[in-house]
Structure formats: C-alpha cells, structure tokens
Amino acid sequence: MIDKTENLRLRPSVSIVSTATENVWEFFLSNTRQVRHLRIRDQRLIHLVTQLNGTSIADLVKEHPDIGSEIAHLFTALVEWCIVEYQSVSKTIFDSTHYRTLNFLSDFIPSYALLSEQRRFRNSKVILIGCGGVGSLLADGIAAIGVGELTLWDPDDVKNNNLNRGLFTRQDVGKSKVRVLADRFEKLYPDLKVTTVTELLEQETQISRHFGQLGSTDLVINAADYPNVDVTSKLIFPTCMNLKIPHIVAGGYNLHLSLIGPTIIPFETPCYKCIEMGLEQLQNEDFSHLRKLVRPKRNIGNLAPLAGISVSFTLNETIRTLLRGSFLYPFMSGKRGEFNYLSNQVNYTTFERQANCSWCSNTHKHPVNPS
C-alpha cells in the first residue's frame, strides 16, 4: 500500500524523454532497460515529475487542487512502476552495503516494498550441496548478495584440478573445501551464519536427516556432480518435495557445465521427475543432442567461463526464487537451457507437469504455476 505522505523523488537511474508522438513521454529504467510510455496531456504534470525531489503526493495535491486527482493517479502509478521512490528508502539504500543490489532490484520492486523484501532475503536459509568449481563460485555469490544463513555441503578436499575454476588457491590444496569457504566468508561477511557438512552424499536418508537438523530451509541448490548430477538430484528432490522446499539444479542433468538447470517450486512447477520424463519423451532423432551419457562416472571437461555462465544463471534464479511473489518469479521454472560454446547461444527446452508423475499428477490437486 502506497503511503501518500511519504516524500518522493525521481529515481536517479530513470530518464524521461519526450517522443515524436504528441504528449507521449518515455520513462527509461536504465538498470534493466525497461521502458514505459505514458500519455500526459497536462504539461504541469510532467513538470512536477521532472522536478520531483522530496515532496509527497499529499502535498502535491494540496498545492495543485485543480489537478489533484490527476496527480494522485499519476504518482501512485509511478511508484508502482518503480519510476519514483520514497526518499527515506533511497537514503537507506545509499547507506547499505548492498547499495547496488538494492538499486538494481528497485527496477522491479516498488519502494514501499523494497526494504521488507530485503529483510525477507536477509532472513533466508540456503543449502548448497557441492562446493567444487561451480559450487564455490555459487557460495561466494550467495554470500555476497546477502542471505542470512548458508549451509555448505561437500565431503572433498581441494585438489589441483579445482584450480582452473572456482575460488581455491594452491595454498588451499588438501584442505576441506567447505572449511576453506567458511573461513573466507567469516572474514568477508561477518553477519552470515555458515554451517558445514562433510558427508559423502549417498543416500536419501542423509538429506532428510540433515534438513531436520538444519531447521527450516528456503532454498536448496544442487551443484554436486559425484558420481553425476543425475544421481545427486534423485537423492535430493524427494525430501525437497515432501518439505515443499524450492530447489535448483545447478548445471543440468546429463552433460555438465554446458547445461543450465531448472528451478523447481514443489507442486507449482514441473518437478525433477516431470522433467526427467519429459526428456525421455524427447529421445528421438529431432532431439538427438539431448541423449544421455549412460556411463555412471563419466569424466567431462570444463572451462572457467562455462562454470561462470552456470553460476550467473543460478545466482539470478536464487534471487528470483527467494523473492518470488508479486514482483519476481523464477525464470527457469519448467525450463532447461543448453549453452552452446561455439555459438554463445542458449537454447531452452520447456517442460510441463506430467499427468502421470507420482508427485505432480492432477489427482494431487496442487496449485499450478502462477506465471
């Protein structure tokens, strides 16, 4: 709900340009390159917008009673469209460690909701399973964007072959991956609570046991590729479904870093089983590039830039999933992307909830994806 007594200002990242069409103005949100076109016939209104710097809707209406209703309608819309913001919130943003993050999110989240959404994000608990090349970069990104609690799960020590990607250095070789990361975050992000798990993930019961020990969880990210991400995803997703915990597969199912995995919101989006069944349906000549490699311990090469691409998509999905609601929703729900190294293109395959999926069948009468 917009407070009409809050002092407003035009957001510094928004530009206003007149167009070739009479009385039509372009509002350009430069962070995200979104554009709004508004027809404003009364030039006094556009003057009030361009000169806005610390006046409330209530005061503007009082100062210009003859166009009061137009002012209230226009400025209410401008707040909702993230073109103007509360001056008090803009000061909080400027003083924050996460100034640039909040400034970016202000293109999507109206000023009146931004700080409550930030608190929601700061109170989030994320479990990251797998802290190797992709996982270590994911861990650093998750810590940097400001979640409150992060659990790092990986049984391995740092090896020489981890050094071509990820955060690790030669001094870390032989040390526990999760311990190296936890020590790093303790210095960089003192407000972050970090928990470590060093068990080898082999059984589904490990997931349910640790989730019970770790308390409520808002998101699980699977970046564990031993013996492969198919196996670890099958161990992880049943508990996430039972507990209704959103989960992201960071890297895909069958190949490795060239795949951008889906985001699964239990009983809203296609689940892991639905997507697996969908992939089986695509195993024909037209989709031969999606065929599975059946060797259980396959060894596939990778590059640091490929790891970075997978990480970037997953971090975007982390933000969108933790803040999902009226303003943001995961992009990769019901999708799987394949990054083509030669063409620099991402090709997406979409999936539906399967009527014969034991988790998502219509007989369960769970809500459908609101997007």
Domain match, 133 and 17 both: no
What beta strand segments (E) does 149-268 contain?
149-153, 193-197, 219-222, 247-249, 259-260, 263-264
pLDDT at 371: 35
Radius of gyration for the alpha carbons in the chain, expressed in angstroms and rounded: 24
Would you place residue 135 in the very low, low, confident or very high pLDDT band (cuts 50, 70, 90)?
very high
Domain match, 291 and 349 both: yes
Of 89, 115, 141, which closes a domain? 115
Of 61, 88, 115, which closes a domain? 115
Closest CA to 52 of 20, 27, 86, 1: 86
C-alpha distances out from residue 178 to 171, 195, 207, Å: 15, 9, 17
Question: Looking at residue 269, which CATH number applies to its domain?
Answer: 3.40.50.720
Contact (CB, 8 A) for 8 and 54: yes
Residue 2 placed within a domain: no
Closest CA to 13 of 127, 99, 73: 99
Query: Quick check: 211 pLDDT over 50?
Result: yes
Arithmetic mean of pLDDT, 294-321: 80
Q: Which of 207 and 341 is assigned the larger pLDDT? A: 207
Structural domain span for residue 93: 7-115
Of 81, 99, 115, which closes a domain? 115
Domain match, 292 and 149 both: yes
Domain match, 44 and 145 both: no
Residue 369 placed within a domain: no
Residue 70 placed within a domain: yes
C-alpha distances out from residue 35 to 32, 67, 120, Å: 9, 26, 28
Residue 57 placed within a domain: yes
Q: What is the pLDDT of residues 291-303, one digit of tens each?
A: 555 555 555 667 7
pLDDT at 341: 81
* Structural domains in the chain (count): 2
Q: What is the pLDDT of residues 136-161, one digit of tens each?
A: 999 999 999 999 999 999 999 999 98
Domain match, 329 and 349 both: yes
| pTM for this predicted structure | 0.88
Would you place residue 247 in the very low, low, confident or very high pLDDT band (cuts 50, 70, 90)?
very high
Domain match, 12 and 90 both: yes
pLDDT at 291: 52
Arithmetic mean of pLDDT, 92-116: 93
Domain match, 146 and 291 both: yes
Would you place residue 235 in the very low, low, confident or very high pLDDT band (cuts 50, 70, 90)?
very high
Domain match, 338 and 217 both: yes
Question: Looking at residue 24, which CATH number applies to its domain?
Answer: 3.90.930
Would you place residue 362 in the very low, low, confident or very high pLDDT band (cuts 50, 70, 90)?
low
Q: In what order do the strands lie in the sheet with 53-56?
A: 53-56, 7-10, 84-86
Closest CA to 261 of 319, 332, 329, 318: 332
pLDDT at 304: 81
